[in-house]
Amino acid sequence: MLECNVEIRRREFPVVAALAVAGGERVALFGPSGAGKTSVIEAIAGLVPVQRGRIALDGRALTIAGSVAVPVHQRRVGLVSQNQALFPHMSVRDNLRFGRPEGSGEAAFHRLGERLGLTALLGARPHALSGGQRQRVAFARTLLSDYRALLLDEPYTGLDAALRTTLAAVVADAVAERGVPAVLVTHDLAEAQDFADRLVVIDRGRVLQQGAPDEVVARPVSRRVAELLGYRSFLSGRLIGRAAEERVGIHPERVQAGVRPGVGPALAGTVERLRPRGGQWAVEVRVDGAEPLCAVLPERAGVGERIALTLVDPPVFGPDGTARRRTREQAAQAGGGM
């Protein structure tokens, strides 16, 4: 178990975070750049001081406010970041062996090397490697070490999709096999959802919401959380039978084409713009009497075409920006579930 209940002093604002991550659990700290996410895991790793609070791993205090109970190199915390921090004078083989516990077998070394495509690179030094190859070495070095918690600070930045998928699978297997708590820092929602059992939304040093990734995205507790999660349109509540001063949050990927009773309220509008989005189409639709809303749909629609859309159980926010709880009767009238 990794426990972190701290306040960290920063120039712009203090970072206040309370986390408890169980063994084998994967938690993603998600939020915009500069929100304080990296400060949290750097405090866990012992790289930044804590103003108030305590950090503990498996019941052992690592940091207590005003003091470092355990120095960085004795914490048994594995950290992978964008800065691979490889030793330039060492070969890949020696980088991978650095920090490994004495007497550890060779099977894991060779198995991970083969899985990450490092076998042919063992004699090379970091300067001779590509950025993606160096990142694979950084991952492998950490995963071969004697860690009891795993921290990942935006480790996939700049990597291609195939390599991201490979590294994510390797990390997931390692966390499950060792049963250690793992924390990922990212500002990429899809990356966070792929990784996490629990999503923690952070903004300006504060935890705004946490829970299962699908639940957090479907039910943001405030308009600010919704904005961070990719809700791009906020239309008047009157369009779905609510008060005009309320706002309906619309996420482009929580919209379906056509009228779908039981899924959510339906709206009609005119397509003003479209562009390809992978195998789907991103469209902007002008709803009568409102600003355009954005949606991602499987089929192409023509500009100027009139279409119907169903909002998948959308959140509603009051004038103060907090989410409104819907009664069972309101959900039924809107066509959505509870």
Average pLDDT estimate for 108-137:
88
Which residue range forms the structural domain that includes residue 155? 2-218
Is 253 part of any domain?
A: yes
Measured from the Cβ of residue 124, the count of other Cβ atoms closer than 10 Å reads 15
Q: What is the CATH number of the domain that holds 41?
A: 3.40.50.300
Last residue of one domain, picked from the residues 187, 218, 249: 218
Residues 237 and 214 placed together within one structural domain of the fold: no
Q: What is the CATH number of the domain that holds 261?
A: 2.40.50.140
Residues 254 and 180 placed together within one structural domain of the fold: no
Measured from the Cβ of residue 55, the count of other Cβ atoms closer than 10 Å reads 27
Last residue of one domain, picked from the residues 169, 187, 218: 218
Is 227 part of any domain?
A: no
Number of domains comprising the chain: 2
* Residue range 216-255, pLDDT digits in tens: 999 999 999 999 999 999 999 998 889 999 999 999 999 9
Residues 202 and 116 placed together within one structural domain of the fold: yes
According to the model, what pLDDT value does residue 326 have?
56
Q: What is the phi/psi pair of residue 268, to 5°?
A: -120, 145
Higher pLDDT, 330 or 61: 61
Residues 321 and 241 placed together within one structural domain of the fold: yes
Report the alpha-carbon distance of residue 230 to residue 191 in Å, rounded.
Answer: 14
Residues 121 and 80 placed together within one structural domain of the fold: yes
Is 268 part of any domain?
A: yes
According to the model, what pLDDT value does residue 180 have?
96
* Residue range 43-88, pLDDT digits in tens: 999 999 899 999 999 999 998 887 778 899 899 999 998 777 888 9
Residues 65 and 140 placed together within one structural domain of the fold: yes
Least confident range from 72-86, 108-122, 201-215, 322-336: namely: 322-336
Residue 332 has pLDDT above 50, yes or no: no
Helical (H) or strand (E) element with 200: strand 198-203
Average pLDDT estimate for 5-21:
93
Residues 54 and 110 placed together within one structural domain of the fold: yes
Query: In this structure, are strands 182-186 and 149-153 parallel, antiparallel, or unpaired?
Result: parallel
Residues 185 and 263 placed together within one structural domain of the fold: no
Is 104 part of any domain?
A: yes
Claim: this prediction has a pTM higher than 0.85 = yes
Residues 261 and 191 placed together within one structural domain of the fold: no
